[in-house]
């Protein structure tokens, strides 16, 4: 009804107002999920020779979620790149355009095949993106090991406790 009233279309982005709330953590979690789904696919590989219906069901669900999360990485990174990064940020971090493109390509590679290395590389690229993002806000980051499988590095802002 609102669309008809204002003769507008629905915007499928984080926030076109803009609200000013941007955070790469959603992309990071999605990238970690992709890496984990690739691991799960490898774990199922031994069961594929003569798969049961349960194995086929699990594999199809894992592949579907891998695809969804890889697309989410692309969407979240694209939103931050297109809506948040401005000319001063690009001057400070000229690699941001190429890094964004590399993330798009690597997320596509994760969708196109089952190589675990692509998932690990996607996490690395998105972590670098997070480092740059937080640096543009003058917020220090730390790298920790994610507390969930596949226990890959995770770049996080150092936040003050209140």
Neighbour-count burial for 86-120, b at 16+ CB within 10 Å, e otherwise: eeebeeebeebeebbebbbebbebbbeebeeebbb
Whole-angstrom distance, CA of residue 85 vs CA of residue 90: 7
Question: What per-residue confidence (pLDDT) applies to 19?
Answer: 77
Q: What is the pTM of this model?
A: 0.88
Q: What does the mean pLDDT of the chain come to? A: 90
Whole-angstrom distance, CA of residue 65 vs CA of residue 133: 26
Whole-angstrom distance, CA of residue 71 vs CA of residue 109: 11
Q: CATH no. for residue 63?
A: 1.20.120.400
Q: Is it the case that residue 8 has pLDDT exceeding 60?
A: no
Q: Which residue in this structure is represented by tokens 């579907």?
A: 64
Give the structural domain span for 62. 24-156
Q: How far is CA 145 from CA 90, 148, 161, in A?
A: 29, 9, 20
How many residues belong to the chain? 162
Question: What per-residue confidence (pLDDT) applies to 49?
Answer: 75
What tens digit of pLDDT does each residue of 44-99 get?
987 777 788 999 999 999 999 999 999 999 999 999 999 999 999 999 999 999 99
Percent above pLDDT 90 for the chain: 79
| Structural domains of the chain, count | 1
């Amino acid at each position: 009804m609102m669309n008809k009233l204002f003769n507008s279309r629905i915007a499928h982005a984080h926030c076109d107002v803009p609200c000013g709330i941007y955070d790469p953590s959603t992309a990071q979690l999605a990238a970690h999920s992709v890496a984990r789904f690739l691991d799960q696919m490898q774990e199922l590989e031994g069961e594929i020779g003569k798969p049961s219906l349960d194995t086929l069901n699990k594999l199809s669900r894992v592949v579907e979620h891998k695809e969804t999360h890889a697309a989410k990485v692309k969407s979240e990174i694209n939103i931050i790149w297109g809506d948040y990064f401005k000319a001063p940020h690009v001057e400070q971090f000229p690699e941001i355009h190429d890094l964004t493109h590399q993330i798009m390509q690597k997320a596509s590679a994760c969708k196109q095949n089952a190589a675990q290395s692509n998932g690990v590389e996607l996490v690395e690229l998105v972590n670098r993106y997070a480092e740059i993002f937080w640096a543009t806000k003058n917020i220090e980051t730390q790298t920790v090991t994610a507390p969930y499988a596949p226990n890959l590095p995770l770049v996080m802002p150092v936040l003050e406790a209140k």
